[in-house]
Structure 1
Amino acid sequence: MSDLERQFERIIRDEISRRRLLRRGAAGALSVSALSYLAACGSETGGSGDSKPESKVIEKGEIGDSIYVANWPLYIEEDRGTLKDFQKKYGAKVKYVEEVNDNTEFFGKVRQQYERGDSGGRDIHVVTDWMAGKMIRLGYVEKLDHSALPNVQANLIERLKSPPFDPKRDYSVPWQSGFAGIIYRKDKVKREPKSIDDLFDPAYKGKVTMLTEMRDTVGLVAASMGSDPETASTDDFMKAIDKIGEASDSGQIRGFTGNEYTKDITKGDSWVIIGWSGDAVQLEADNPNIKFVAPETGVHLWTDNMEVPVGAPEPYAAEKFMDFVYEPEVQADIAEYVNYICPVKGVKEILTKRDPALGENQLIFPDDRTLSDAFIFRQLKPEEDTQLTEAFQGVIGA
């Protein structure tokens, strides 16, 4: 039994609140036209996509009466004690709106506002790596003052300090992270899958599904072919797409899905799939024959990131909020509820005292080896995004 399998079993034995990754399936269902439009937006602003308008560092100032945080649903403890504690400390009430249901939908909602320097009243939004990078490239977010973020500087875990889309974290601060890897039916496969290559084993023809989220599926396959998705060329990614296309045409892959893969693997229609770690927890709770494993070539590590949009009414208070949730005692309450990869040092020790199973949970506190083996899909230029998206959408039949 692998370490990750043991961690899943511990989670299931304990009554730990869980937030599933259902939301990540929504973006994968986009049509090629919608995604091509999104990729092309970098050129709509008049730039090549390689450069952005000069951003000024957020100035220190007074903290107002309230701040507005736009986040994903179910991404903070149920009683929202963190928000109340922030208000007690700084006097600012947090308007916390769960309005980010998928990255592309949110971008479409705010793009025209952000383009004219209007945040729509938002002081913080939370978006996934590739969208965070797009916001940076388009000049839609403010540059952070590192001196105003001492807790972030001291407590951000090493693996998340220098992502491809924001190498110095000048514009973004992680909220939470997660993995994409292999989910399989232990009672159906001939052995535990060790590699994404196992999904191409003829013994599993017609029993494989992959994700409609391009960066998860293409990133994992490219890694299995020897490329590093953090630095891979467009040609490297295209080779992975070609391999996926051949497998699809041959019937090896039965389909490409968002979160609906949970139904297929539960019924036994699929046996070995690419899926999300958060779903695997719930799936195994329902059926102990369903397991999650990290491929030998690494899992895809994704992060949802806090950014301060241009025109934010309270940018300095926004930085204070970012720094507040990087106090280990504060982050511990969030991590205990959401059960994602915690980005803050010092939280493991706190949660271990509360419940040893939490401190040992690889989904919240992956070991150094797992994190070092994980990759973050690199930020694509608009023209690369368009090329890869169209090729991938052609393969999956979107």
Structure 2
Amino acid sequence: MWTRVLATGALVVVLTGLMGCSASLTPLPTPTTPSLASELILYDWEDDLPQSVLDLFTTEYGVQVVYKTYESQEEAMANMRAGAVYDVVVFDNDFVPQLVADGLLAEIDYRHVPNFDNISPNFRDLAYDPQNKHTVPFNWGVTALLVRSDLVEEPVTRWEDLWEREFAGKIAVRDEPREPFGMALKSLGYSINSEDPDAVQAAFDHLLEIKDKIVLVGPYAEAAVPMLLSGEAAVLVGWAEDVLLSREESLAIEWVLPEEGIMLWGDNFVIPAYSPRKYTAELFLNFLMRPEVNAQIVNENYYASPNEAARAFIDPEILHDPVIFPPDESLGNAEVFLPLSPDGEQLYQQLWERFKRMME
């Protein structure tokens, strides 16, 4: 935990006169607890935080949580740059450095977030935010493959199989560059975070080889999974949320962790630098880091949490589900999506837009 020390000084006023002198010492000011706001504006993916948890916070603290949603991280960043007012926002790891560089994030006062101690050391002090000055880890997960085994001729076990196998359907991927480029980079033996122009170009060329097999889908499982269920897609590059939704149907859908290594993502809570309710936002984060509250989030949204203390309160069926909490042996050659430099971001985005034009 990191603390900031507030120093106060005493002003000594000395009065002198012809007949003598006296001195008085101004009393030290008494620290006061900031007052709670009447409302808090949360900006996040739709349904990412259960309403039941927000209601608990309102009941305990009397603070109404206004839940605003975005459709993409790019939209969220654009609205923050435009000056829209939020108090707590959820961002992927790879957006954090640019937000910090742009002066859009407040430093978190951890005196008000003591439950940060519940976060596993494995998720603290990571490269995208040293000392967690601006972020509190929220959840994490895996990007891997959902495969309709009845629509493939041979088993799919690798990223490279997306190029080598024939499918009776498309390969569905989200409309954002990091995951499709990540699977291409992995299949070629490169890091998913490579900014080497030659490696990224090779990944682009590799993606072009299967452009006619690819169909783009939206970020939500409700939009992506039906493509798999209908058979329009034989493979979905997806997440635990997709698997859990697909389980509701009695189809032959396999969750494949590619041999070259899975891709890991992470979400974080941040407080915008211009939030007028920073203390209330910090109190809200501390509430969400309580073990039993954090476990309630996991039990309702089915994403893995970095909160170690919450594990004792997570439904055992969820805690031991390898789709949600992948086994340790599957993490040996896994890679976490890390932020790209501005030049790297531009390179990926330009090539992705070019790729989409070539799909038309």
Q: Which residue pairs with 1:70 in the alignment?
A: 43
Q: Which residue pairs with 1:384 in the alignment?
A: 344
Counterparts in 2 of 1:315 and 1:223: CA distance versus 1, 3 Å: same
Structure 1 residues 193-214: Cα deviation after superposition (integer angstroms, max 9, x where no partner): 2110110114338643433221
The residue type paired with residue 37 of structure 2 is: D
Q: Which residue pairs with 2:74 in the alignment?
A: 104
Q: Structure 2 CA distance, aligned partners of 1:73 and 1:61? A: 33
The residue type paired with residue 247 of structure 2 is: E
For structure 1, which runs of at least 5 residues remain unmatched after alignment? 1-55, 114-118
Q: Structure 2 CA distance, aligned partners of 1:221 and 1:158? A: 31
Q: Which residue pairs with 2:296 in the alignment?
A: 333
1:164, 1:376 within 8 Å by CA — same for their partners in 2?
no
Q: Which residue pairs with 1:394 in the alignment?
A: 354
Is 1:307 paired with 2:270?
yes
* Cα deviation, residue 344, structure 1: 0.9
Counterparts in 2 of 1:256 and 1:303: CA distance versus 1, 3 Å: same
1:298, 1:373 within 8 Å by CA — same for their partners in 2?
yes
TM-score, normalising length: structure 1: 0.73
The residue type paired with residue 73 of structure 1 is: E
Among candidates 73, 77, 97, match of residue 133 of structure 1: 97
TM-score, normalising length: structure 2: 0.80
Q: Which residue pairs with 1:257 in the alignment?
A: 217
The residue type paired with residue 101 of structure 2 is: R
Is 1:368 paired with 2:332?
no
When the two structures are aligned, how many residues end up with a matched partner? 327
1:144, 1:319 within 8 Å by CA — same for their partners in 2?
yes
2:294, 2:310 within 8 Å by CA — same for their partners in 1?
yes
Q: Structure 2 CA distance, aligned partners of 1:87 and 1:284? A: 35
The residue type paired with residue 72 of structure 1 is: W
The residue type paired with residue 239 of structure 2 is: W
Q: Secondary structure at the match of 1:312?
A: coil
* Cα deviation, residue 140, structure 1: 0.3
Q: Which has the bigger relative contact order, CA under 8 A and spacing at least 6?
A: 1
Structure 1 residues 74-121: Cα deviation after superposition (integer angstroms, max 9, x where no partner): 1223433x5434652xx45142313233222222323121xxxxx62x
Is 1:160 paired with 2:123?
yes
Counterparts in 2 of 1:287 and 1:393: CA distance versus 1, 3 Å: farther
Counterparts in 2 of 1:197 and 1:57: CA distance versus 1, 3 Å: farther
Q: Which residue pairs with 2:201 in the alignment?
A: 238
Is 1:124 paired with 2:88?
yes
Among candidates 218, 224, 247, match of residue 210 of structure 2: 247
- How do 1:162-181 residues align onto structure 2 when only pairs under 5 Å count? 162-181=125-144
Q: Structure 1 CA distance, aligned partners of 2:154 and 2:246? A: 19
1:341, 1:366 within 8 Å by CA — same for their partners in 2?
no
Counterparts in 2 of 1:255 and 1:358: CA distance versus 1, 3 Å: closer
2:148, 2:253 within 8 Å by CA — same for their partners in 1?
yes
Q: Structure 1 CA distance, aligned partners of 2:4 and 2:340? A: 25
Q: Which residue pairs with 1:151 in the alignment?
A: 115
Q: Secondary structure at the match of 1:98?
A: strand
- How do 1:204-243 residues align onto structure 2 when only pairs under 5 Å count? 204=167, 207-230=170-193, 233-243=196-206
The residue type paired with residue 44 of structure 2 is: N
Counterparts in 2 of 1:254 and 1:70: CA distance versus 1, 3 Å: closer
Q: Structure 2 CA distance, aligned partners of 1:379 and 1:293? A: 25
Counterparts in 2 of 1:211 and 1:357: CA distance versus 1, 3 Å: same
Q: Secondary structure at the match of 2:209?
A: helix
Q: Secondary structure at the match of 2:145?
A: strand
Q: Secondary structure at the match of 1:226?
A: coil
Q: Structure 1 CA distance, aligned partners of 2:129 and 2:189? A: 24
Counterparts in 2 of 1:337 and 1:384: CA distance versus 1, 3 Å: same
Same amino acid, percent of matched pairs: 22
Among candidates 199, 223, 245, match of residue 282 of structure 1: 245
Counterparts in 2 of 1:148 and 1:298: CA distance versus 1, 3 Å: farther
Q: Structure 2 CA distance, aligned partners of 1:64 and 1:321? A: 10
Q: Secondary structure at the match of 1:309?
A: coil
- How do 1:3-22 residues align onto structure 2 when only pairs under 5 Å count? none
Among candidates 283, 301, 306, match of residue 320 of structure 1: 283
* Cα deviation, residue 142, structure 1: 0.8
Q: Secondary structure at the match of 1:286?
A: coil
Counterparts in 2 of 1:140 and 1:98: CA distance versus 1, 3 Å: same
Counterparts in 2 of 1:86 and 1:256: CA distance versus 1, 3 Å: closer
Q: Secondary structure at the match of 1:317?
A: helix
Q: Secondary structure at the match of 1:271?
A: strand
Counterparts in 2 of 1:316 and 1:261: CA distance versus 1, 3 Å: closer
Counterparts in 2 of 1:395 and 1:65: CA distance versus 1, 3 Å: closer
1:195, 1:296 within 8 Å by CA — same for their partners in 2?
yes
Structure 1 residues 268-294: Cα deviation after superposition (integer angstroms, max 9, x where no partner): 233234223311221232133122222
Runs of 4+ in 1 over 6 A off after TM superposition: 56-60
2:152, 2:168 within 8 Å by CA — same for their partners in 1?
no
Q: Structure 2 CA distance, aligned partners of 1:78 and 1:145? A: 26
* Cα deviation, residue 314, structure 1: 2.3
1:183, 1:290 within 8 Å by CA — same for their partners in 2?
yes
2:119, 2:309 within 8 Å by CA — same for their partners in 1?
no
Q: Structure 2 CA distance, aligned partners of 1:146 and 1:227? A: 38
Q: Which has the larger radius of gyration?
A: 2
